[in-house]
Amino acid sequence: MNRTAEKNLRGRKKSQWTYGRPSTGSRIFDCCNVAFMILLMVITVYPFLYVLFASLSEPLRLYSHRGFLIAPLGFSLKGYHFVLNYRAIWNGYAVTIFLATVGTACTLITSLLFAYVLSKTDSMLHGFFTFAAVFTMYFNGGMIPTYLIVKELGLLDSLWSLILPGLISTYYVIILRTSIMGIPREMTESAELDGANEIVILVRILIPLIVPTIAAIGLFIVVGYWNSWTNALLYIQDGKKQPLQMILRQIVVNNDMSAAAGSGASNRSGEDSATRLLLKYATIIVSIIPIICVYPFLQKYFTKGVMIGAIKG
């Protein structure tokens, strides 16, 4: 009995000493997980760093460089000088800011109104409106019919042609509707008993409770407008009304540097090719910096906002 009790006591002390310490398999898993996340971070961040380093490099050294780039090749702000003197860039900024602000506001307002209607399951024609909304997620008229509609409405070469055709996204409407339906019905019923109408209920009761969802969706919409260029390619012919991404496409894809070349770029073939390459990288950085600055302010709403609208309902 004494030997058995002593063995049990030793085993208990050993278990207490090892309690809370990770096992070998857990350590291996943690190391593999950390290594994988570091690799994923490098794969995600390195392209941006490459463009940033290239935009700060000397043109000729960058043009002759091959392979990875882990630091600027020298230091030069020549590319940014050309970009900032390129008038089309500033016109593109003005158009894109208009689209990102007015387009986002219009899309959020219409999506919220539509989502509020769909959240009322006892309303007239609720099933029909829900079916009509979901149907558009899988079927649409196509590019040519949409172009003909925009043309018949007289929206060609108008900035509203970049907003109205995609004003409401069914995906965002469904998320907002689910988020609204997650709010207890008793809150809206008590407001109705107090004499509040539908607009007051939506603006003063429901919207403050789903701010995280609205913020997350608003950021998605802003990024969508900021990166959009396909509709501008179809509907906008006036160069002064083209958004920033269209200007970027002309520089990166079409090598359109006539305006920048006139601002001081060299006409010699070697230096001209190097300047073209440098200008591409500088333009990319200039075009993405504003939207990157928005992310830190709304990042905290991502998980909370989307999960609130996706789980309940």
pLDDT for 299: 67
pLDDT for 5: 55
Which amino acid is residue 249, in one-letter code?
R
- What are 111's two structure tokens? 């999506």
pLDDT for 259: 47
Q: Note whether 244 and 302 are same-domain residues.
A: yes
pLDDT for 106: 93
- What are 50's two structure tokens? 């490459």
pLDDT for 17: 44
pLDDT for 16: 46
- The number of domains in the chain is 2
pLDDT for 266: 45
Q: Note whether 67 and 91 are same-domain residues.
A: no
Q: Note whether 161 and 220 are same-domain residues.
A: yes
pLDDT by residue (tens digit) across 136-165? 888 877 888 888 988 998 888 889 999 998
Q: Note whether 98 and 203 are same-domain residues.
A: yes
Q: d(Cα 199, Cα 205) in Å, to the nearest integer? A: 10
Q: Note whether 132 and 151 are same-domain residues.
A: yes
> Does residue 61 belong to any structural domain of this protein?
yes
Q: Which domain holds residue 165?
A: 81-311
Q: Note whether 238 and 185 are same-domain residues.
A: yes
Q: Note whether 56 and 108 are same-domain residues.
A: no
- What are 203's two structure tokens? 């603006």
Q: Note whether 160 and 35 are same-domain residues.
A: no
For the residues of 21-76, what is the DSSP string, one character each? PPPHHHHHHHHHHHHHHHHHHHHHHHHHHHHHHHHTS-HHHHHH--S--SS-SS--
Cβ atoms of 51 and 284 within 8 Å: the answer is yes
Question: What end-to-end distance do the CA atoms of the chain give, in Å?
Answer: 62
Q: Note whether 61 and 204 are same-domain residues.
A: no
> Among the three residues 62, 77, 92, which one is the final residue of a domain in this structure?
77
Q: Note whether 235 and 186 are same-domain residues.
A: yes
Per-residue pLDDT of the chain (313 residues; tens, 9 = 90+): 455 655 555 555 454 444 457 678 788 888 999 999 999 988 888 888 888 888 888 888 887 878 788 888 888 888 888 888 888 888 888 899 999 999 999 999 999 999 998 888 887 888 888 888 888 888 877 888 888 988 998 888 889 999 998 888 888 898 889 888 888 888 888 888 878 888 888 888 888 888 888 888 888 898 889 888 888 888 988 888 888 888 888 777 666 555 454 444 444 555 677 777 888 888 888 888 887 877 777 666 665 555 554 444 4
